[in-house]
Amino acid sequence: MTQGADRTPGRRTVLGAAVLGTAALGVGGVTAAPAAAAERHGGHGSYRDLPTPTIIGHRGASGYRPEHTLGSYQLALDMGAHVIEQDLVPTKDGHLVCRHENDITGTTDVAAHPEFASRKTTKSVDGVSLTGWFTEDFTLAELKTLRAKERIPANRQENTLYDGRWTVPSFEEVLRWAEKEGRKRGRPVWLHVETKHPSYFRALGLGLEERLAKLLRRHGRHRADSAVFLQSFEPSSIQRLADLVDPPGVVLLSGAGSRPWDFIEAGDPRTVADLVKPEGLKWIASYAKGIGPTLDLIIPKDASGKLGTPTTLVRDAHAQGLILHPYTMRNENTFLPADFRRGGDPNAYGDAFGAFKVYFETGIDGIFTDNADTGVLAAADFRG
Ligand code: G3P
Ligand code: CA
């Protein structure tokens, strides 16, 4: 399917310094995983062996449960998602927890806890001013007194039934859950783990990558054939991780006109539009195995919100040996391209199967979706 599919990029020092040599176990402090560790999660396997299109449960099964909860992850796995996604942020005492952002105002009941009222504050995160409560101001024990809730109750009222049912999971809990489920199923449970705001947290002394690498090593998921992808919108985070551990890295790409926050801080003028050119993709392929572009970079929409003509990104990325895991497919009309909306209710489901099919036809390797069950059926239809 791709050129250079078996290429193993050399391990690099952080931030584009010289290549040090071919990646190998034992380099950069990485040691071979004990056999017992491999068995804990049901063995190893290459990401190239995953079914394609690969269905990635976005924040679990966030179309049906409050996102980033063990309930959401469990449902996505039970629905047949091939990979389950976690977004990671740190606590004050350095634990990694699963939240889409460090501002927990919208996805927990923190506002209803008078004992934490004084922690409400205003911060600038990646250049955006935010007022609320932030994970880095809470210890893990404090965070564990909160309960998760639905992020978008106006769109997903049914999910509010589950508000308060689960806590904010630590990543270590998720690793243990994946091991348990892997043993039960006799195969590894694949994870897709994103570092959120890595430069921001590094400046606070809460670097994400070392903490993540340590957990991955502890749980035998640090190898090239471990059942985990590592993703970030900041390329330097993927480079840093590539120096520490060997699982496949995926560089996330937002809108064409945007710049990764680490580029902005470093004065790197390149935009996402530069990164999706062959030269930019070649640079990404020197330290990563894939890209995670917004779906609009695969098929842009016209002024009316309908899908237009696919770009050459799939072909160009594959030419560099990169897989593509674009984001995010959701079943509700309000989130679908205009040509796949049905009826006037923005929160009713549109023709999600039709939209999945059109995206799959571009040749993408996988897709993030809030609706794992729909994605699994659509992928099976596509494979025929
Ligand atoms: O990580 C893939 C996709 O989840 C990126 O978007 O904002 O949902 O993390 P976001
Ligand atoms: Ca994500």
- Would 1 be classed as within a structural domain? no
- Would 124 be classed as within a structural domain? yes
Give tens-digit pLDDT for 83-101. Answer: 999 999 999 999 999 999 9
Q: Please name the residue whose Cα sits nearest to atom 2 of ligand 1.
A: 327
Give tens-digit pLDDT for 339-357. Answer: 999 999 999 999 999 999 9
Exposure of 52 in the CB half-sphere (CA atoms within 13 A): 16
Q: Supply the DSSP string of 175-215, one letter for each residue.
A: HHHHHHHHHHHTS--EEEEEE-SHHHHHHTT--HHHHHHHH
| Location of structure tokens 């551990």 | 245
- Provide the 3-class DSSP secondary structure of residue 76: helix
Q: How many C-beta neighbours within 10 Å does residue 73 have? A: 31
CA distance 267 to 269: 6
CA distance 175 to 351: 35
Query: Could you tell me if 349 and 333 are in contact, meaning their C-beta atoms sit under 8 angstroms apart?
Result: yes
Mutate to test the pocket of ligand 1, among 84, 296, 328 (most ligand atoms within 8 A of CB): 328
pLDDT of 45: 78
CA distance 19 to 14: 10
CA 115 to centroid of ligand 2, rounded, Å = 30
Burial-class residue 13 by CB neighbours within 10 Å (0-12, 13-18, 19+): middle
Query: Could you tell me if 207 and 214 are in contact, meaning their C-beta atoms sit under 8 angstroms apart?
Result: no
Give the pair of three-digit tokens for residue 46.
């290459």
Question: Any idea what the CATH number is for the domain that residue 222 is in?
Answer: 3.20.20.190
* Closest C-alpha to 23, from 239, 175, 233: 239
CA 33 to centroid of ligand 2, rounded, Å = 27
| Location of structure tokens 């491999």 | 38
Residues facing residue 84 across a β-bridge: 57, 191
CA 191 to centroid of ligand 2, rounded, Å = 12
CA 35 to centroid of ligand 2, rounded, Å = 30
Q: Which residues of the chain have pLDDT under 50?
A: 1-42
CA distance 192 to 132: 27
* Closest C-alpha to 230, from 364, 87, 82, 67: 87
Distant-in-sequence, close-in-space partners of 161: CB < 8 Å, separation ≥ 6: none
pLDDT of 44: 67
CA 252 to centroid of ligand 1, rounded, Å = 8
3-state secondary structure 313-344: HHHHHHHCCCEECCECECCEHHHCCHHHCCCC
Q: Which domain, by its residues, includes 310?
A: 34-383
Give the alpha-carbon dihedral of 237, 242, 248, 249, to 10 degrees: 20
CB-ligand 1 contact for 365 (6 Å cutoff)? no
Model confidence, pTM: 0.90
CB-ligand 1 contact for 87 (6 Å cutoff)? yes
- Would 22 be classed as within a structural domain? no
CB-ligand 1 contact for 327 (6 Å cutoff)? yes
Query: Could you tell me if 98 and 174 are in contact, meaning their C-beta atoms sit under 8 angstroms apart?
Result: yes
Give the pair of three-digit tokens for residue 15.
């931030």
The total number of structural domains that make up the chain: 1
Mutate to test the pocket of ligand 1, among 88, 125, 261, 327 (most ligand atoms within 8 A of CB): 327
Q: 205 to each of 198, 200, 261, how far by Cα in Å?
A: 11, 9, 17
CA distance 72 to 82: 14
Mutate to test the pocket of ligand 1, among 89, 196, 228, 368 (most ligand atoms within 8 A of CB): 368
CB-ligand 1 contact for 71 (6 Å cutoff)? no
CA distance 20 to 102: 34
